[in-house]
Amino acid sequence: MKKLLLSAASIVAVLAFGGVWSVSAQNKKGDAPSQHEVRLTLHNQSSEKQIIPKEIYGQFAEHLGRCIYGGIWVGENSPIPNQKGYRVDVLEALRALKVPVLRWPGGCFADEYHWMDGIGPYDKRPKMVNTNWGGTVEDNSFGTHEFLNFCELLGCEPYVNGNVGSGSVEEMAKWVEYMTSDADSPMANLRRENGRDKPWKVKYFGVGNENWGCGGNMRPEYYSDLYRRYATFCKNYSGNNLYKIACGASDYDYNWTDVLMNQVGRQMQGLSLHYYSVLDWGRKGSATKFNTDDWYAVIGKCAEVESVIKRHCDIMDQYDPRRQIDMILDEWGTWWDEEPGTVRGHLYQQNTLRDAMVAAVSLNIFHKYTYRLKMANIAQMINVLQSMILTRDDEMILTPTYHLFKMYVPHQDATVVPMHYESASLRDVNRREVELFSATASRKDGVMTLSMVNVDLEKECKVVIALDDETKYEISGEILTAKNMSEHNTFENPDNIKTQSFDGFKSAKGQIEVVLPAKSVVTLTLK
């Protein structure tokens, strides 16, 4: 199948599927076919053993804006319904996502956070100024106990980020002991005095965050030495085995990965990577007011994560051909200008269909690289950046990204089903080639889940799916779409965009035909 190349401005002549046609900016009736077609071969009988770790669907909660305070935590004395200080509505909504892992306390905040300030009686905890995010004064009422207990309530693995930027080796070592030791030791006994007898299980531990930037503006050689020193004193206590994650690169900094792999190597279990779908860090743009060019440009930027992941993986393969060190994408997602009228530095933004599209395309890519990529934590969970949930006092709304994540829950810990397709594409304003179709498939407990994305704003996508068997499947479908590309949920209209049942498919022996509406995500379940 030939690829269809269009411009985002939609004014070119193209060769497409057996004919030549033009698209005008006015999209006059009859100028172009109403749909493009994709032929997808699905190898559902493959013996493929590549698993999509559930941790690919991880979350990130930083002390930033109203992510923690007002989002997760309101305190036991709040009139907002809560369970031991945690918002009940938020807790229930997150449980439906089967959150596998939660990263805390930062972000940039992590390398200014001193954990001793967040334990003990609330009235004895010192306040701190959040210098990175708006200069907010925090009372430290949400600390180690509150975070780890929250993870227990959610049923997820905690991922704790230690302070390398402004903290000491001793401080980090004592924190690990405080959380995980069951011995008759000073830190374990201090934990007991603060109300927790048995230690928590803490698997994931990050030794610093963005140490190339807000975490200290370090060179990779210097950080490598610091990592080796700090990690040495992060001990395993009482049967708890730490999975240590080194601070990795931002985006296209391949030298950082090279140095870390060379100088740290097997002293780390994971190496992080950060990648945001940001077009211009100086002018990020509005979350809700954008045009067609903006739509395709951010889809192009998010899809570029594939080449970034691949190149970092290739470097890691040079030093670690047996793939014993994992890639951890512990910050990713969209980042827009803050909503007008909100606190500067709190990074509160709305969430539209466009954000859900970015999430879907990104996750489809992540699934392909889970031979090395073992965790991805979207930024962030509540009220910040590409969040799952927005809150206002006692109100809560679910974002399009939340609904997308819920659609993709069946992919967690499922086996990849190999596929092959070629997509029509266009060139965005930055000359990136943007594929108009994206897909992923997995199999778990005898059920196959196929997720497909049509990012085309105007045209349907007809997908002809060839199966490698003639099994008659029971098929059901779900769709996330909207009339307008900027549709979003508000506190006045919380259900403006959400998933709906989908029946735009027909099946025959060894084949399924699906018509994806413009700007839609569809998931089919085959039993």
Catalytic residues: 210, 331
Question: What distance in Å separates the CA atoms of residue 527 and residue 366, rounded to the nearest whole number?
Answer: 24
User: Please, are residues 55 and 100 in contact by the beta-carbon 8 Å criterion?
Assistant: yes
Nearest Cα to Cα of residue 218 among 180, 263, 160, 182: 263
The 3-class SS string of 107-143 reads CHHHHHCCHHHHCCCHHHCCCEEECCCCCEEECCCCC
Contacts of 334 (CB under 8 A, 6+ apart): 276, 277, 278, 287, 298, 302, 349, 354, 355, 358, 385, 386
Token reading at 249: 């690169």
| Cβ-Cβ contacts under 8 Å for 433 (sequence gap 6 or more) | 5, 300, 425, 426, 427
Query: Of 378, 380, 398, which Cα lies nearest the Cα of 389?
Result: 398
Within 10 A of 150 (CB to CB), how many other CB atoms are there? 24
Pairing label, strands 35-42, 460-467: parallel
351 phi, psi to nearest 5 deg: -145, 115
Cα dihedral 305, 101, 228, 268, rounded to 10, equals: -70
- Which sign, positive or negative, has the C-alpha torsion 374, 413, 99, 231? negative
- Measured between alpha carbons, how far is residue 87 from residues 45, 72, 82, 83, 504 in Å? 44, 6, 4, 6, 38
Q: Is the dihedral of CA 283, 284, 288, 294 positive or negative?
A: positive
Cα–Cα distance measured from residue 292 to residue 428, given in angstroms and rounded to the nearest whole number: 10
Angstrom distance (rounded) from CA 523 to CA 56: 18
